[in-house]
């Protein structure tokens, strides 16, 4: 599960057998160009992370890939006209339905057989720890609970292509881990996943290709190159609590991590490529994470 | 399609959006029929024109019954915006037709007309109401936030278009000679109102023409709307 997929050397146009392939896709609203000359391809079981600031065009690109909005220029090739696509928007509106009613409607609209639909709804509720037969309407749900329902509707059919817009927004730590388990499982079954993300997510990043949208262009983030690590262009800053003994051991294991310590309180500057392994060892050493922030362009 | 209609019905019922147009429509009918007796087909002429307006309001509300994010999710499950939007138009038509049938049956059953209508009159009145319900819904589909940046402008232009439909006869008379063909662009509401007003004087063709004209106009309007939506997809002009 943790094996890193082969990173693309450049934003390529993919192969003819790709699940979906974008060629020089652009999107403009009037004179405002949101995306320009986006080319990428996605195969089965591949995952891709989109990063970028607010309004950079992440959601727009997801909608274009989903076929929800048309591109202004360029071409989109899908492996099949009936490519099964799941899409979770950044937030679900509060409907006057229970989560079960809502998912039954979505499943029926998608043409799922009743028995399979019922089983799948139970399974997803159990996995994301939401009561399946709750009489509460979605209008009474918290942001995190709504987000779970949103993710459930996107994953209902085990889609070939799953598009998630800020899927971890509003989820607590336990739910985030459950979602990660679900995503890893779907990916292992061959679902290609595109995720628009703001916050760092080492476990998902380690199996994903990360792109950044900057000024409408799609730029591949390559944390493994020497250039990236030498320039320190992507680092993580962790504030946490860790015993002195564990700190000494981790400092030896990760010589490129910068440490600032006061008693058990520590601040670590972690190179992006060490982040996944470091975090695993940090938690194994019973460290407590107070915050973890992604830093760019800082030495 | 049935699954989509069931979903839309639940959304529409639980949104309570149907309340205002349905209540106003029913209240006006009850008020009008509080006095009796009323002419049979003349009364149906009034209720069908009232239904035309109510159907337009219901069409607008059903087309925008889903929030934008939910509509995107539903679209991905339905796999076709034509199917989803077509289901919305169909649902709005069914809902408005039910209101139309109420307008036909209610005064007849409660004896609010000068006599009990013949079966032929009941049948044709029902068809006139159903066809005008379809006409109103098919027009309303154009005037939603899917194609207009501002809901207010959309509603104002829809109201203008409905008013032009009511005034088509007068507009035709006021136009210079050779320009009266322009009234054919307007919704054929006047044909129905004329047929209901002068029902006894018309032959079979004259009675059926308004039903056919309204349904053909509604079908063309709906088909063009679905084609436009298919091309634009959910690229709302406000974004």
Q: Is A93 on the interface with B (CB under 8 A)?
A: yes
Instruction: Quote the number of domains for chain A.
Output: 2
Tell whether A82 and A200 lie within a shared domain. Answer: yes
Domain range for A41 is 20-221
Q: What is the CATH number of the domain that holds A199?
A: 3.40.50.300
Tell whether A140 and A200 lie within a shared domain. Answer: yes
- A63 in a domain, yes or no? yes
Tell whether A189 and A237 lie within a shared domain. Answer: no
pLDDT, averaged in runs of 10, over chain A (299 residues):
36 60 86 85 88 85 90 86 86 88 92 90 86 86 87 88 87 81 82 86 77 84 54 73 88 86 85 84 85 66
Pick the closest to residue A99 from A89, A87, A107, A110 (CA basis): A107
Q: Is B132 on the interface with A (CB under 8 A)?
A: no
Q: Closest residue of B to A59, CA-based?
A: B69
Tell whether A59 and A140 lie within a shared domain. Answer: yes
Among A221, A240, A272, residue at a domain's last position: A221
Tell whether A205 and A265 lie within a shared domain. Answer: no
- B83 in a domain, yes or no? yes
Nearest to B77 among A29, A92, A109 (CB): A109
Q: pLDDT tens digits for B77-100? A: 998 899 999 999 999 999 999 999
Whether the predicted pLDDT of B149 surpasses 60: yes
- B238 in a domain, yes or no? no
The residue written with tokens 């149907």 in the block is: B18
Domain range for B34 is 2-232
Pick the closest to residue B106 from B32, B156, B175, B42 (CA basis): B32
- B10 in a domain, yes or no? yes
- B239 in a domain, yes or no? no
Instruction: Quote the number of domains for chain B.
Output: 1
DSSP assignment of A212-278 equals EEETTEEEEE-TTSHHHHHHT-EEEEEEEE--HHHHHHHHHH-TT-EEEEETTEEEEEEEHHHHHHH
Tell whether A241 and A213 lie within a shared domain. Answer: no
Query: Using an 8 Å Cβ cutoff, are A127 and A96 in contact?
Result: no
Q: pLDDT tens digits for A28-45? A: 887 888 888 888 888 888
Tell whether A162 and A280 lie within a shared domain. Answer: no
Would you state the pLDDT for residue B49?
Answer: 93
- Report chain A residues whose CB lies below 8 A from the CB of B80: none
- A217 in a domain, yes or no? yes
- B15 in a domain, yes or no? yes
Q: Closest residue of B to A82, CA-based?
A: B79
Ramachandran angles phi, psi of A69, nearest 5°: -125, 155
Tell whether A35 and A123 lie within a shared domain. Answer: yes
The residue written with tokens 């998902």 in the block is: A204
Among A189, A221, A253, residue at a domain's last position: A221
- Report pTM: 0.78
- A12 in a domain, yes or no? no
With a pLDDT cut of 70, the percent of chain B lying above it is: 99
Among A200, A221, A242, residue at a domain's last position: A221
Q: pLDDT tens digits for A208-264? A: 888 888 888 888 877 654 444 444 467 888 888 888 888 888 888 888 888 888 888
Query: Which value does ipTM take for this structure?
Result: 0.82
DSSP B38: B
Tell whether A207 and A137 lie within a shared domain. Answer: yes
Tell whether A165 and A201 lie within a shared domain. Answer: yes
Tell whether A154 and A292 lie within a shared domain. Answer: no
Average pLDDT, chain A: 81
Tell whether A107 and A212 lie within a shared domain. Answer: yes
B238: left (phi over 0), alpha (psi -120 to 50) or beta: alpha
- B237 in a domain, yes or no? no
Q: Is B5 on the interface with A (CB under 8 A)?
A: no
Q: Is A36 on the interface with B (CB under 8 A)?
A: no
């Amino acid at each position: 599960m943790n094996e890193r997929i082969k990173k693309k050397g450049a934003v390529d146009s993919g192969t003819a057998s790709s699940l979906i392939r974008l060629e020089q896709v652009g999107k403009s609203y009037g004179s405002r160009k949101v995306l320009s000359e986006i080319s990428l391809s996605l195969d089965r079981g591949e995952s891709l992370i989109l990063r970028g600031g607010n309004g950079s065009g992440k959601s727009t690109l997801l909608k274009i890939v989903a076929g929800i909005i048309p591109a202004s220029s360029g071409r989109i090739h899908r492996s099949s006209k009936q490519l099964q696509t799941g899409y979770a928007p950044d937030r679900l509106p509060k409907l006057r339905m229970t989560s079960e009613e809502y998912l039954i409607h979505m499943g029926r609209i998608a043409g799922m057989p009743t028995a399979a639909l019922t089983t799948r709804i139970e399974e997803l509720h159990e996995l994301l720890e939401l009561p399946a037969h709750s009489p509460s309407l979605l209008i009474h749900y918290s942001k995190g609970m709504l987000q779970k329902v949103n993710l459930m509707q996107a994953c209902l059919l085990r889609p070939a292509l799953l598009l998630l817009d800020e899927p971890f927004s509003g989820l607590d730590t336990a739910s985030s881990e459950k979602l990660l388990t679900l995503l890893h499982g779907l990916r292992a079954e061959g679902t290609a996943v595109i995720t628009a993300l703001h916050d760092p997510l080492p476990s998902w990043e380690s199996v994903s290709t990360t792109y950044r949208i900057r000024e409408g262009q799609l730029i591949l983030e390559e944390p493994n190159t020497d250039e990236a690590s030498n320039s320190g262009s992507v680092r993580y800053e962790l504030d946490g609590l860790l015993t002195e003994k564990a700190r000494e051991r981790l400092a030896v294991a990760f010589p490129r991590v910068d440490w600032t310590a006061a008693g058990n309180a520590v601040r670590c500057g972690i190179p992006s490529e060490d982040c996944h392994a470091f975090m695993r060892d940090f938690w194994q050493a019973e460290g407590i994470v107070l915050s973890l922030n992604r830093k760019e362009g800082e030495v | 399609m049935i699954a989509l209609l069931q979903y839309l019905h639940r959304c529409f019922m639980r949104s309570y959006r149907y309340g205002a147009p349905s209540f106003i429509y029913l209240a006006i009918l009850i008020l009008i029929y509080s006095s009796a007796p009323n002419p049979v087909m003349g009364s149906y002429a009034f209720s069908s024109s009232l239904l035309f307006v109510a159907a337009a309001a219901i069409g607008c509300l059903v087309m925008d019954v889903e929030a934008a994010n939910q509509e995107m999710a539903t679209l991905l499950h339905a796999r076709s915006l034509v199917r989803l939007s077509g289901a919305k138009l169909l649902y709005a038509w069914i809902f408005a037709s039910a209101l139309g049938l109420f307008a036909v049956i209610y005064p007849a059953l409660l004896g609010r007309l000068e006599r009990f209508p013949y079966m032929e009159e009941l049948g044709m009145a029902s068809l006139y109401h159903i066809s005008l319900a379809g006409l109103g819904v098919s027009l309303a589909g154009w005037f939603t936030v899917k194609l207009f940046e501002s809901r207010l402008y959309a509603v104002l232009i829809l109201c203008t278009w409905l008013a032009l439909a009511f005034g088509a006869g007068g507009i035709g008379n006021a136009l210079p000679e050779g320009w009266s063909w322009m009234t054919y662009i307007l919704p054929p509401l006047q044909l129905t109102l004329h047929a209901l007003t002068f029902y006894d004087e018309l032959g079979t063709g004259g009675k059926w023409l308004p039903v056919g004209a309204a349904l053909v106009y509604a079908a063309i309007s709906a088909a063009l709307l679905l084609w436009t939506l298919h091309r634009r997809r959910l690229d709302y002009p406000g974004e």
